[in-house]
Structure 1
Amino acid sequence: MLPVVFAFLRRYVPFITLPFAAVVGIIGYNLEGMLSDKYTPYQKSIEGKREDRLLEESLAKDVTKVDSLKEKKFVPRSVFEKNVSPSLQNTETK
């Protein structure tokens, strides 16, 4: 008798598990909807934050203080000073 039951289950397991999984999914979905907090606070986008930060940095700079073109501070002394992140640049000249 047991081999007949196993043969039946092996053949019809998709038809048995699909309704069972659907019932469990529906119950879980509704239970989560009742228990969870659906409120998500508004946050500004990353691009918006970056634009605000860059605007604040540009407004904080003194526009009257400009480097001399004769000193050529914009030309790197070695290949290692090319394409350096602004946060890693040394503002002092050696």
Structure 2
Amino acid sequence: MNQILIRVVSRYAPIITFPVAVILGFIGYSFETAITDKKTPYLENSIEDQREKRFMNNPESEYHTNIPKNIFERNDPKNLK
């Protein structure tokens, strides 16, 4: 009897587990949505646009003045403190 039960369960396991997983996932998603009320705020400008504006408004910033001319100046040990 046990061998027949094991064969039936092993044969139909994917058919049984997928709907169970979908139902449990839906319940968990609904529960999490009900508990947490986190909303992502809408940005008027993208982060890249905000960064570009900030750098353009302040041209004397460290970013504009210390741009290395080549790769060897990027990690110059003389400039490290």
Superposition TM-score, scaled by structure 1 size: 0.55
Which residue is equivalent to 2:36?
Answer: 36
Separation (CA, whole Å) in 1 of partners of 2:69 and 2:27: 59
Q: Report whether the alignment pairs 1:55 with 2:24.
A: no
**Is the deviation greater in 6-15 or in 30-39?**
30-39
Gaps of 5+ in 2: 62-67
Which residue is equivalent to 2:69?
Answer: 82
Which residue is equivalent to 1:71?
Answer: none
Report which structure shows greater RCO (CA 8 Å, sep ≥6): 2
The residue identity in structure 2 corresponding to 1:47 is E
Which residue is equivalent to 2:6?
Answer: 6
What RMSD in Å do the two structures reach over aligned CA positions?
A: 2.6
Q: What is the CA-CA distance between 1:22 and the residue it aligns to?
A: 1.5
Higher-Rg structure is: 1
Gaps of 5+ in 1: 62-80
Kindly tell me the number of residue pairs found equivalent between the two proteins: 66
Q: Percent identity?
A: 41
Superposition TM-score, scaled by structure 2 size: 0.62
More helix by share: 2
Q: What is the CA-CA distance between 1:42 and the residue it aligns to?
A: 4.3
